[in-house]
Amino acid sequence: MYPVILIDAIVLKVRSGTVANRPVYVAVGISVEGIREVLGLWVGPTGGEGAKQWMNMLTDLRNRGILDACIVRCDGPKGLPDAIVATWPQATVQTCVVHLVRNSLRYASKAHWSAITRQLKAVYGAPTLEAAETAFEEFADAWQGKYPAMVAMWRRSWPEFIPSSTPSGCGWSRLMSR
């Protein structure tokens, strides 16, 4: 069992007769001892990352013996959180902070990147949920007028960025006490 599984995809140029951009799906498990292990790499079809391929990859992991996960961290493309919950019903899906920050900067002028990332660090580095919520409201107040889509993206992502419940059924309290 891996209490935490990190999943992501990277698009690489792959030669198979011709050169084409293909997603390579990656899964890394973090053991109870904190050791990271590559669980698998899968080359997907051309056309970009998709929920159907993620479901195939997650099913393969389950079939190879990974029967449960406490937290699965991902970038959250459409359909991926549903595929995770279908594979591991008791897992908590958490959106990766690196992807959220990177996506935030897509909405903003480069001149504001430093100020935005500084304020976001106060959100994701907060010691408590209440402190994170306060820091987020300060961030939202500062940027809502200039970048409403960026603030809206964070509001949509908040439930999976800060999961409201602790994972159950996978020995979470036992894992946290080590």
Say what the pLDDT of residue 171 is.
Answer: 44
Contact 96, 75 (CB under 8 A): yes
Using CA atoms, how far apart are residues 90 and 166, in angstroms rounded to an integer? 10
2-95 CATH pick, 3.30.420, 2.20.25, 1.10.287, 3.30.70: 3.30.420
For residue range 22-40, list pLDDT tens digits in order: 889 999 999 989 999 999 9
For residue range 78-98, list pLDDT tens digits in order: 788 888 989 999 888 888 888
Say what the pLDDT of residue 147 is.
Answer: 96
Q: Residue for token digits 């994972």?
A: 167
Among 57, 54, 60, 104, which Cα is nearest to 81's?
Answer: 54
Distance, CA of 165 to chain centre: 16
Phi-psi group of 101: left, alpha or beta (phi > 0 → left; psi -120 to 50 → alpha; rest → beta): alpha
For residue range 96-135, list pLDDT tens digits in order: 888 889 989 999 999 999 999 999 999 989 999 899 999 9
H/E segment holding residue 29: strand 18-30
* Residue 11: strand pairing partners: 23
pTM of the model: 0.72
122-134: buried (b, 16+ CB within 10 Å) or exposed (e) per residue?
ebeebeeeeebee
